[in-house]
Amino acid sequence: MKAHVYVTLKTSVLDPQGQTIQNALRKIGFTGVDGVRQGKYFVLSLAKGLTLEAAKAEVERVAREVLTNPVIEEYTYRIEE
């Protein structure tokens, strides 16, 4: 079982990295992109024998306590069985 965790800045937080990428895209001629937000993507390989419920609980704790800065970031995840 694997978990895919997506950590992004809260929408209220300015994203200078995303802004820099968007400016670069415009300069080199990409006109189809209006905005860019950058985040982090984690793939967690989960231990064998975990139930789906236990896996969800573990992933949520890991995301909340280790992978995310709750002041400026939020996360979503999905489990791949």
Residues in contact with a second copy by CB under 8 A are: 6-8, 18, 21, 24-25, 28, 30-47, 50, 54-55, 58, 61-62, 66-67
Q: Which two tokens stand for residue 17?
A: 């990295």
Min separation Cβ 45 and a second copy, Å: 4
Question: Which secondary-structure segment (H or E) carries 79?
Answer: strand 73-80
Min separation Cβ 70 and a second copy, Å: 17
Decide: helix, strand or coil at residue 30. Answer: coil
Torsion angles phi and psi, residue 35, rounded to 5: -160, 150
Min separation Cβ 16 and a second copy, Å: 14
* Closer residue to a second copy (CB): 67 or 71: 67
* Closer residue to a second copy (CB): 35 or 81: 35
Contact 59, 51 (CB under 8 A): no
